[in-house]
A and B are shown apart, each in its own frame.
Chain A
Amino acid sequence: MLSCKDVTARVSASLDRELSLRERLAVNLHLVICTACRRMVRQMELLRLVSRRLASEDAEKDMEMKTLSQEARQRIRQRLKDR
């Protein structure tokens, strides 16, 4: 029987790779009886969702306003000339 700690590590791993059938069964078996770990799973899912949300918000902002500042542009141009 996996402990809560084991289950947590495997749930995290499941976000990075596919778990083996055996691992999935063991995790699910634990989740059926453990409220705390079911919450942890939802938290982990939320971490993934909020990361994606942040990335897409940033991407939208990118389109509009993320440009090199005048100062940076000027500095880089100068460095290129100095070469």
Chain B
Amino acid sequence: MSRDIEPSAVAAQALDPSRWLDEYGDFLYRYALRRLRNRARAEDMVQETLLAALETRGTYAGRAAEKTWLAGILKHKIIDFIRKQVRESTVDDINRLSDAAVEQETDVLFDARGHWIRPPQDWGNPDRTLENSEFLEAFRLCLERLKPAQAQIFSLKELVGQSIEDICSELGITASNCSVILYRTRMALRRCLEIHWGGNTEEAR
């Protein structure tokens, strides 16, 4: 009888959640942090992942490596979180961001015939501007000022480097909505940078 217990005892030991924390905690945390860009949220995701793993460990067949299994759970947790964020902001953000109703932001920039009212500033040679630490700082600031759903989608696209198809299907929004959101986000970042950084070049002109 004790022989019957033995294998499951070994399995239980192998599926020890506090060891998961020791061995994979930092890995999971970095993964979450890269996608969410927020410490507290990334920590919460790690916790939720390990709790979920604890509850479903009975179904863990040991087919995938433990690390892969945990990363898979985390990935779903993050997608759920972002989806929720997008859904919650659907009424005032996404619709506003992707509907014709919110042309206000772009209205300021273009006249009725679609010509620039406020033509873009010259930001100089891209390679050189990229080396400018003030520009980098201003960009960080502007990213933080975006609406959460906006920042999230932009960062998945441009910082994490996911394809627009993946982002849309994971978040359950249409490709054209996604594209409009990214357009508005880029315009918002552009404007923000013109205000918080571009002043320099305006004088120079």
Contact = CB atoms under 8 A, between A and B. Distances in A.
Interface string A39-51: 1101111111111
A8 B187 contact: yes
Q: Tell me the dominant secondary structure on chain B's binding face.
A: helix
A51 B158 CA distance: 6
B90 to A, nearest CB: 21
B116 A76 contact: no
B184 to A, nearest CB: 9
Contacts, number: 137
A68 B178 CA distance: 32
Q: Looking at chain B, what size class is its interface with the partner chain?
A: 35 or more
A13 interface: yes
B135 interface: yes
A68 B126 contact: no
Interface residues of A, number: 46
A12 B182 contact: yes
A77 interface: yes
B160 interface: yes
A46 B34 contact: no
B18 A77 contact: yes
A15 B116 CA distance: 21
A12 B190 CA distance: 12
Residue with the highest number of chain B CB atoms closer than 10 Å, among A48, A55, A72: A72
Contacts of B130: 46, 49-50, 53
Contact of A67 (B29, B113, B116): B29
Interface of B: 17-18, 21, 25-26, 29-30, 33-34, 43, 46-47, 50-51, 54-55, 106, 109-110, 113-116, 119-123, 126, 129-130, 135-136, 139-140, 143, 154-155, 157-161, 164, 178-179, 182-183, 186-187, 189-190, 193
18 contacts: A3-B113, A3-B114, A4-B115, A5-B110, A12-B186, A13-B183, A37-B116, A40-B120, A42-B123, A43-B190, A46-B126, A47-B186, A50-B130, A54-B136, A55-B34, A68-B46, A76-B50, A77-B21
